[in-house]
Amino acid sequence: MTFVLDQNLGLPTSDEPWKSILTTADIVASQTADLAAIDEALARHQPDIAYVPTADFHRIVRSGDDTYRGLAIATSKFTGDPRQTSLLVVRADDPATGWADLQGADYGYINTACTSSYFSPAILLARQGKDRDEFLHLIAVPAWQGQIDAVVSKQVRATMVLEDVWRARPENAKDTKIIGQYDNCKPPVVIARKGLDDGTRTMLLDALVAWVPDWSGVYGGLKPFYYADVHGFFHDLDQLPAR
């Protein structure tokens, strides 16, 4: 069996206990930052299991493809809930006070599957009748703290970044200011092929729920997936035009 993972999500499959868990279950894991390749593999139903941004899972569901089911969902390491907030931040000395001041601004995002940096601004701007891709000049930047660093160094003027990332370093509160937020971000999900045998599914879910991530990571532990956890976010995504 194959297990593909977005490497930005921080599940260390090459470290223990994951190395032994996956080897025992005859699961071959591979990590990549190439989200387009993961999306293509999922569209072809190649991996048996995947750990991906929730927006990627929504794309599959929205297409009508029922090959995969949610297995587990990550949580905020500060609250333990499968919900996070994405903050719109600019430099502390930037005069901007909201979206109205950012038209045409260089904006940093991680990738086109990122819930917090790519879809959150699209949702917020759509509520104001604005198209993200027309309103902002999108620039790919390194993930997480790299987004904040890109703002501080003036590589970009603004970004939306998980509050959990922003809170991890006290200096972020000195170097940047918050001028907006989206409160319905959903952490990434582990999805599994619908036909995965019950023994493997149960073993993997038990291991995911029992795993305690290192505090330096972006996410907390995982919980069993329930559609109710993502329903509101899926609704917000459904309001965006298909691209």
Task: For residues 218 and 141, state if they share a domain.
Answer: no
Task: For residues 199 and 176, state if they share a domain.
Answer: no
Choose one of 162, 184, 206: the last residue of a domain: 184
* Tokens of residue 237, six digits: 């995504």
What total number of domains does the chain contain?
A: 2
Task: For residues 15 and 103, state if they share a domain.
Answer: no
Task: For residues 98 and 177, state if they share a domain.
Answer: yes
CATH of the domain at 211: 3.40.190.10
Q: What residue numbers bound the domain in which 176 lies?
A: 84-184
Choose one of 140, 166, 184: the last residue of a domain: 184
pLDDT in tens, 91-142: 999 999 999 999 999 999 999 989 999 999 999 999 999 999 999 999 999 9
Task: For residues 139 and 174, state if they share a domain.
Answer: yes
Task: For residues 200 and 178, state if they share a domain.
Answer: no
Reduced to 3 states, what is the DSSP secondary structure of residue 33? Answer: coil
Task: For residues 91 and 169, state if they share a domain.
Answer: yes
Write out the E strands in the chain.
2-6, 28-32, 49-52, 68-76, 84-91, 106-109, 137-140, 158-162, 176-185, 189-193, 219-224
CA distance 54 to 195: 21
Task: For residues 214 and 233, state if they share a domain.
Answer: yes
Does residue 229 surpass a pLDDT of 70?
yes
pLDDT in tens, 164-204: 999 999 999 999 999 999 999 999 999 999 999 999 999 99
pLDDT in tens, 193-220: 999 999 999 999 999 999 999 988 899 9
Cα 207 to chain center, whole Å? Answer: 21
Q: Residue 243's pLDDT is what? A: 58
CA distance 103 to 109: 16
Task: For residues 72 and 92, state if they share a domain.
Answer: no
